[in-house]
Amino acid sequence: MRLLPPVPFVGRELEEDTAFGEYVVPKGTEVGMLIAALHQDPEQFPDPEKFNPNRFDQLNSELSQQSSVEENSNVRRDPFAYIPFSAGPRNCIGQKFALMELMIVVGTLLLNFNIESTQTREELGLRPALTFHPAKGIHVKLTNRH
Ligand code: HEM
């Protein structure tokens, strides 16, 4: 969700002149926000290329009460540094459903199987479109744990 966010970018049309740092972008401009790049900001995620789920550990014990993805981010991190479901009034309406589904599916798989990837990240052959797709599928080896 951080390194390869399924939705790599979102767009908005500015309703008013908006300042981004030293630049003022006029009303009506279409702005693209590259979530995939945002998630690799080394100031927010040191050693950004590294897959390290422990980055999100701090509040994991509160996961069951979590009401938004941001709450599961490191508290010292900018609240908008990690936005796989976007943010604001038009963010993902399926966010909570998707997270529940993810936890159930991934949890059930991990309880029952050891999972080993047979590809490197480069071999996934990412095909960026509206959503990120692996060009040739995701190949894993499952070994029964029981
Ligand atoms: C891991 C899974 C998912 C991710 C990463 C994801 C991500 C996103 C993102 C980034 C947006 C764009 C929001 C924006 O423009 O600011 C979006 C919109 C949306 N998503 Fe998801 N989504 C996921 C799963 C789902 C599911 C399961 C559903 C429905 C059951 C869903 C329904 C929607 C809808 C209806 C919108 C449009 C909301 C609007 O424009 O008001 N998504 N999603």
Dist. CA 146 → ligand 1 center (Å) = 36
- Which of 28-32, 43-47, 54-58 has the least mean pLDDT? 54-58
pLDDT of residue 94: 97
Q: How many alpha carbons fall within 13 Å on the CB side of residue 90? A: 4
Q: In the predicted model, what is the mean pLDDT of residues 121-144?
A: 87
Least Cα distance to 68 among 103, 92, 44 occurs for 92
Residue 46 DSSP SS3: coil
Q: How many alpha carbons fall within 13 Å on the CB side of residue 53? A: 2
- Flag whether pLDDT at 80 surpasses 50: yes
pLDDT of residue 58: 58
Residue 64 DSSP SS3: helix
Rounded to whole angstroms, the Cα distance separating 12 from 41 reads 21
Q: Options 2.40.30.170, 1.10.630.10, 3.30.420.40, 3.40.720.10; which CATH number does 9-144 get?
A: 1.10.630.10
pLDDT of residue 70: 44
Ligand 1 atom, smallest distance to 90 CA: 41
Instruction: Give ∠ CA 55-135-49 in degrees, rounded to 5.
Output: 25
- Flag whether pLDDT at 74 surpasses 70: no
Q: In the predicted model, what is the mean pLDDT of residues 11-23?
A: 95
Q: In the predicted model, what is the mean pLDDT of residues 30-45?
A: 94
Residue of minimum CA distance from atom 13 in ligand 1? 91
Rounded to whole angstroms, the Cα distance separating 125 from 5 reads 15
143: amino acid identity, one letter: T
Residue from 10, 92, 93 to probe ligand 1 pocket by mutation (most atoms less than 8 Å from CB): 92
Task: Mention every residue, 6+ apart, whose C-beta is less than 8 A from residue 4.
Answer: 36, 126, 132
Q: What are the residue boundaries of the structural domains of the chain, listed by start?
A: 9-144
Provide the percentage of residues in the chain whose pLDDT is more than 90: 64
Provide ipTM, 2 decimals.
Answer: 0.96
